[in-house]
Chain A
Amino acid sequence: MATSVTVVLPGDEVPKSSLPTPTGKKKTLTLGPGLRHIPPDTITATIAGALTTDNKKNAIWIDTNSGRYIPTAGDLVIATVQNSVAENFNCLLTPNTPYASLPHLAFEGATRKTRPVLAPNSLVYARVVSGGKHTSPEITCVDPSTGKSEGLGPLKGGMIFKVSLGMARRLLLKSKGEVIILELIGAKVGFEITVGRNGIVHVDGANVKTILAVGKALQEVDEQALGEKGQKKLAERVLKSL
């Protein structure tokens, strides 16, 4: 992480000097969200944010924590089932967007005879298969190569909490995201947590009190941008109240 941040506005050209210098094998440059390539060799920003580069992966993208979640292939999301039509469940990733389709057979062990039954408004943890701009997104609950669920599937019980997209990314980054509150609380009470890239966190635990405490603590870490010390203090407070 560079110490000085380059902030770009839409329309700003990314200078050649800020492009990543590939360290590994010779790879093609990868453009992440918020950048657009204008042939032959101009790269301009389309959103406002901090320009971030990764030399190892030879990638460059714009880091922001605002806006709506845009489905991208490979993302883990928590989707809400709306209804079931023909061979698919229609699911919502964010409100007021076109449905994402989840095939009935995209569950572990599902066959034409034994289809999963999901009531409207039930939650599933799924992976985005395709998210192109010209088609509606498609999600799946199995790894297509192994046919195993790999932790994906319907989420039972618990509650969901909304966090910012940046917070969801941090939680999925594990140690690099600098969120230690879960380990601190988890050392004393047991709970289960599922993070969707679309800004939804599902928490399940022994009782409602634990679930609420964990969910609220996560939201507080997100809103107040608590660092290590702040998270320790918050964890102590939460554990005392339980």
Chain B
Amino acid sequence: MAPEAILSHLHRADGSATYTHNGYCIIGAVNGPIEVQRRDELPEEATVEVNVRPAVGVGSPKERHLETLLHNTLRSIILTSSIPRTLVQITLQVRSLPEEEADCGIDSSLAILPHLLHTSLLALLSASIPLSTVLTAALVAIPSVSSSPLISPTANQLLRAKPIRSAHVFAFSGEGKLLLNESDGVFSLQEWDEAAEAAEEVCCKEEGGVGLGEGMEVDGKEGDNLDAWLREVVMDKVKWETRWRGAK
């Protein structure tokens, strides 16, 4: 299942996106480049601010942790030096979580991380903030019993595959470079390698028939390529914006 995305639907924000995938629904809004508070001002680059709001209640250390991860990853793809002394404010509101989220057996902050990354990227694209590259992310879970890793699993799949031995989140840049890795659980270096390879396959564009799945035969389910999906989303955005050209 490819994720669903709606772009630029909040009219007060400079850029916005709603992203729905595997039961997660997140609204992202980006404002920027705007004026930055004096104490946060950086003379040579833009300040990036990430706010994560949970579905229920107020933010907790878990959200602070996610904000730090997102902040560091996004700062590396935003061309901060091209908009110095400004602020790029990214607000992510979690709207809904899958029902089985609480007992799917992996750290909930890991499970939501790829979705938050995708939402913020889409919102940044919608706000036309200068970026050096795009990013795609995937969750890989390795169950204790069967050896084949689950790639971008739904909460239900995780529940059925329990117990999960280790979970990994990988984010790749458009050129296929690793931007972020968060791993949790017990795993060997070889398992990590396999997981990274599997994630790379769903995240990055295929380059001329390389890498026909070693770790990819996941119960016959073809993982949609995220790079291709991203291109499709942007294509739709461009079509929507230029629809006046051919209009009657």
Residues of A within 8 A of B (CB): 1, 5, 7, 9-12, 34, 36, 46-50, 63-68, 70, 96-98, 133-134, 166, 170, 178, 225-230
Cβ–Cβ contact A178 & B244, under 8 A: yes
Cβ–Cβ contact B129 & A225, under 8 A: no
List residues of B (65-87) whose CB comes within 8 Å of A's CBs: 77, 79, 82-85
Q: How far is the CB of A199 from chain B (nearest CB, A)?
A: 11
> Which one, A10, A178, A227, contacts B134 given CB within 8 A?
A10
Q: How far is the CB of A177 from chain B (nearest CB, A)?
A: 9
Separation of A48 and B231 alpha carbons in the complex (Å)? 9
> Which one, A47, A63, A178, contacts B129 given CB within 8 A?
A47
0/1 per residue, B179-218, Cβ < 8 Å to A?
A: 0000000000000000000000000000000000000000
Q: Given that A5-B242, A9-B234, A227-B244 are contacting pairs, would A46 and B32 also be in contact in the complex, using a CB cutoff of 8 Å?
A: no
* Residue tally, chain B, CB below 8 Å to A: 42
- In the complex formed, the residue of B with least CB distance to A225 is B244
Asked whether any CB of chain A lies closer than 8 Å to the CB of B125, the reply is: yes
Cβ–Cβ contact B127 & A67, under 8 A: yes
Cβ–Cβ contact B127 & A48, under 8 A: no
Cβ–Cβ contact B128 & A64, under 8 A: yes
Q: How far is the CB of B216 from chain A (nearest CB, A)?
A: 24
Residues of A within 8 A of B82 (CB): 36, 46, 133
Separation of A63 and B174 alpha carbons in the complex (Å)? 21
Asked whether any CB of chain A lies closer than 8 Å to the CB of B6, the reply is: no
Cβ–Cβ contact A227 & B238, under 8 A: no
Cβ–Cβ contact A5 & B238, under 8 A: yes
Q: List 28 A-B contacts (CB under 8 A).
A: A9-B230, A10-B130, A10-B131, A10-B174, A11-B131, A34-B128, A36-B79, A36-B130, A46-B79, A47-B125, A47-B128, A48-B237, A48-B238, A49-B128, A49-B241, A63-B241, A64-B241, A66-B14, A66-B126, A66-B237, A66-B241, A68-B33, A68-B127, A70-B33, A97-B34, A178-B245, A225-B243, A227-B246
- In the complex formed, the residue of A with least CB distance to B12 is A95
Cβ–Cβ contact A96 & B34, under 8 A: yes
Known pairs A7-B238, A67-B129; list 5 more (Cβ under 8 Å). Answer: A10-B174, A11-B133, A49-B234, A63-B241, A170-B244
Separation of A67 and B79 alpha carbons in the complex (Å)? 15
Residues of B within 8 A of A5 (CB): 238, 242
List residues of B (115-168) whose CB comes within 8 Å of A's CBs: 125-134
Separation of A227 and B245 alpha carbons in the complex (Å)? 8
Residues of A within 8 A of B234 (CB): 7, 9, 48-49
Separation of A166 and B242 alpha carbons in the complex (Å)? 9
Asked whether any CB of chain A lies closer than 8 Å to the CB of B20, the reply is: no
- In the complex formed, the residue of A with least CB distance to B13 is A68
Q: Given that A67-B14, A97-B34, A97-B35 are contacting pairs, would A7 and B132 also be in contact in the complex, using a CB cutoff of 8 Å?
A: no
Asked whether any CB of chain A lies closer than 8 Å to the CB of B55, the reply is: no
Separation of A64 and B124 alpha carbons in the complex (Å)? 13
Cβ–Cβ contact B248 & A230, under 8 A: yes
Residues of B within 8 A of A7 (CB): 231, 234-235, 238
Separation of A70 and B231 alpha carbons in the complex (Å)? 25
> Which one, B129, B175, B242, B247, contacts A227 given CB within 8 A?
B247
Separation of A228 and B247 alpha carbons in the complex (Å)? 7
Separation of A194 and B134 alpha carbons in the complex (Å)? 38
- In the complex formed, the residue of A with least CB distance to B31 is A96
Q: How far is the CB of B86 from chain A (nearest CB, A)?
A: 8
Cβ–Cβ contact A227 & B174, under 8 A: no
Separation of A68 and B132 alpha carbons in the complex (Å)? 18
Residues of B within 8 A of A12 (CB): 174
Cβ–Cβ contact A66 & B8, under 8 A: yes
Cβ–Cβ contact B173 & A67, under 8 A: no
Asked whether any CB of chain A lies closer than 8 Å to the CB of B114, the reply is: no
Cβ–Cβ contact B238 & A68, under 8 A: no
> Which one, B33, B175, B231, contacts A11 given CB within 8 A?
B175
- In the complex formed, the residue of A with least CB distance to B126 is A66
Separation of A5 and B132 alpha carbons in the complex (Å)? 22
Asked whether any CB of chain A lies closer than 8 Å to the CB of B28, the reply is: no
Residues of A within 8 A of B174 (CB): 9-12
Cβ–Cβ contact A48 & B125, under 8 A: yes
Cβ–Cβ contact A68 & B244, under 8 A: no
Cβ–Cβ contact A226 & B35, under 8 A: no
Residues of A within 8 A of B133 (CB): 10-11
- In the complex formed, the residue of A with least CB distance to B232 is A7
